[in-house]
Amino acid sequence: MPVSPEIKRYTVRLLSVMTLYGVTLVGVNLWFRYATPTGVLAYVAAVLPAVPIALVFVVIGKLLVEMRDEYIRAQMVHDLLIVTGATLSITTAWGFLEGFGLVAPTAHYYVATLWFALQGVAACVRGILRSRERSVG
Protein backbone atom coordinates (compact mmCIF):
# COMPACT_ATOMS: atom_id res chain seq x y z
CA MET A 1 0.00 0.00 0.00
CA PRO A 2 1.55 3.34 -1.03
CA VAL A 3 2.12 6.01 1.59
CA SER A 4 0.09 9.18 1.04
CA PRO A 5 1.85 12.54 0.63
CA GLU A 6 0.30 13.88 3.83
CA ILE A 7 1.68 10.93 5.82
CA LYS A 8 5.11 11.54 4.30
CA ARG A 9 4.96 15.22 5.34
CA TYR A 10 3.73 14.21 8.81
CA THR A 11 6.63 11.78 9.18
CA VAL A 12 9.21 14.40 8.20
CA ARG A 13 7.65 16.96 10.54
CA LEU A 14 7.44 14.49 13.42
CA LEU A 15 11.04 13.33 12.98
CA SER A 16 12.18 16.96 12.85
CA VAL A 17 10.31 17.88 16.03
CA MET A 18 11.46 14.77 17.89
CA THR A 19 15.06 15.46 16.84
CA LEU A 20 14.64 18.99 18.20
CA TYR A 21 13.25 17.45 21.41
CA GLY A 22 16.23 15.12 21.80
CA VAL A 23 18.76 17.89 21.20
CA THR A 24 16.92 20.27 23.53
CA LEU A 25 16.49 17.70 26.29
CA VAL A 26 20.14 16.63 26.22
CA GLY A 27 21.34 20.23 25.95
CA VAL A 28 19.26 21.48 28.85
CA ASN A 29 20.24 18.51 31.02
CA LEU A 30 23.92 19.14 30.32
CA TRP A 31 23.46 22.85 30.97
CA PHE A 32 21.87 22.20 34.37
CA ARG A 33 24.50 19.61 35.23
CA TYR A 34 27.63 21.61 34.36
CA ALA A 35 26.71 25.32 34.43
CA THR A 36 23.37 25.66 36.20
CA PRO A 37 21.48 28.68 34.92
CA THR A 38 19.86 30.95 37.49
CA GLY A 39 16.93 33.32 37.72
CA VAL A 40 14.57 33.70 34.79
CA LEU A 41 17.04 31.94 32.49
CA ALA A 42 16.73 28.78 34.59
CA TYR A 43 12.95 28.79 34.15
CA VAL A 44 13.22 29.38 30.42
CA ALA A 45 15.79 26.61 30.05
CA ALA A 46 13.73 24.19 32.14
CA VAL A 47 10.66 24.55 29.92
CA LEU A 48 12.55 24.44 26.61
CA PRO A 49 12.11 20.65 26.19
CA ALA A 50 8.35 21.14 26.48
CA VAL A 51 8.28 23.27 23.33
CA PRO A 52 8.98 20.40 20.89
CA ILE A 53 6.44 18.24 22.72
CA ALA A 54 3.83 20.96 22.19
CA LEU A 55 4.89 21.07 18.53
CA VAL A 56 4.08 17.35 18.22
CA PHE A 57 0.45 18.23 18.87
CA VAL A 58 0.68 20.93 16.17
CA VAL A 59 2.11 18.33 13.77
CA ILE A 60 -0.76 15.94 14.55
CA GLY A 61 -3.27 18.75 14.04
CA LYS A 62 -1.71 19.63 10.67
CA LEU A 63 -2.03 16.00 9.63
CA LEU A 64 -5.71 15.98 10.53
CA VAL A 65 -6.27 19.16 8.50
CA GLU A 66 -4.32 17.85 5.49
CA MET A 67 -5.73 14.30 5.55
CA ARG A 68 -7.74 13.78 2.37
CA ASP A 69 -9.17 10.38 3.28
CA GLU A 70 -12.14 11.19 5.49
CA TYR A 71 -12.46 7.62 6.76
CA ILE A 72 -8.86 7.51 7.99
CA ARG A 73 -9.22 11.01 9.45
CA ALA A 74 -12.33 9.89 11.35
CA GLN A 75 -10.44 6.85 12.67
CA MET A 76 -7.58 9.09 13.79
CA VAL A 77 -9.94 11.49 15.57
CA HIS A 78 -11.66 8.52 17.21
CA ASP A 79 -8.31 7.16 18.42
CA LEU A 80 -7.19 10.61 19.63
CA LEU A 81 -10.38 11.01 21.66
CA ILE A 82 -10.04 7.57 23.24
CA VAL A 83 -6.35 8.08 24.03
CA THR A 84 -6.96 11.55 25.47
CA GLY A 85 -9.83 10.26 27.60
CA ALA A 86 -7.76 7.32 28.82
CA THR A 87 -4.83 9.61 29.65
CA LEU A 88 -7.03 12.02 31.57
CA SER A 89 -8.72 9.15 33.43
CA ILE A 90 -5.44 7.46 34.38
CA THR A 91 -3.76 10.68 35.50
CA THR A 92 -6.83 11.75 37.48
CA ALA A 93 -6.93 8.38 39.25
CA TRP A 94 -3.18 8.64 39.93
CA GLY A 95 -3.75 12.14 41.32
CA PHE A 96 -6.27 10.79 43.80
CA LEU A 97 -3.87 8.00 44.78
CA GLU A 98 -1.19 10.65 45.35
CA GLY A 99 -3.63 12.83 47.28
CA PHE A 100 -4.36 10.00 49.70
CA GLY A 101 -0.66 9.20 50.07
CA LEU A 102 -0.96 5.76 48.50
CA VAL A 103 1.61 6.29 45.73
CA ALA A 104 4.62 8.51 45.28
CA PRO A 105 4.19 11.72 43.29
CA THR A 106 5.14 11.45 39.63
CA ALA A 107 6.69 14.11 37.41
CA HIS A 108 3.98 15.76 35.33
CA TYR A 109 5.89 15.44 32.08
CA TYR A 110 5.08 11.73 32.17
CA VAL A 111 1.52 12.63 31.18
CA ALA A 112 2.72 13.30 27.62
CA THR A 113 4.74 10.09 27.71
CA LEU A 114 1.62 8.18 28.74
CA TRP A 115 -0.42 9.85 25.97
CA PHE A 116 2.17 8.93 23.34
CA ALA A 117 2.40 5.36 24.67
CA LEU A 118 -1.37 5.01 24.48
CA GLN A 119 -1.21 6.35 20.90
CA GLY A 120 1.15 3.49 20.13
CA VAL A 121 -1.26 1.00 21.70
CA ALA A 122 -4.14 2.50 19.70
CA ALA A 123 -2.13 2.22 16.47
CA CYS A 124 -1.37 -1.44 17.20
CA VAL A 125 -5.02 -2.18 17.97
CA ARG A 126 -6.09 -0.34 14.81
CA GLY A 127 -3.58 -2.40 12.77
CA ILE A 128 -4.82 -5.67 14.26
CA LEU A 129 -8.42 -4.72 13.56
CA ARG A 130 -7.56 -3.80 9.95
CA SER A 131 -5.79 -7.11 9.37
CA ARG A 132 -8.75 -9.00 10.85
CA GLU A 133 -11.15 -7.09 8.56
CA ARG A 134 -9.02 -7.99 5.52
CA SER A 135 -8.83 -11.67 6.46
CA VAL A 136 -12.60 -11.91 7.05
CA GLY A 137 -13.59 -9.82 4.02
101: alpha, beta or left? (left if phi > 0; alpha if psi -120 to 50):
left
Indicate whether 135 belongs to any domain. Answer: yes
Domain check: are 83 and 40 in the same one?
Answer: no
Indicate whether 126 belongs to any domain. Answer: yes
CA 101/CA 80 separation, integer angstroms: 31
How many domains is the chain partitioned into structurally?
A: 2
Judging by beta carbons within 10 Å of its beta carbon (0-12, 13-18, 19+), is residue 85 exposed, middle or buried? exposed
Name the residue range of residue 92's domain: 69-137
Domain check: are 73 and 44 in the same one?
Answer: no
Q: For residue range 54-95, list pLDDT tens digits in order.
A: 999 999 999 999 999 999 999 999 999 999 999 999 999 999
Question: pTM value?
Answer: 0.85
Domain check: are 34 and 75 in the same one?
Answer: no
Domain check: are 76 and 126 in the same one?
Answer: yes
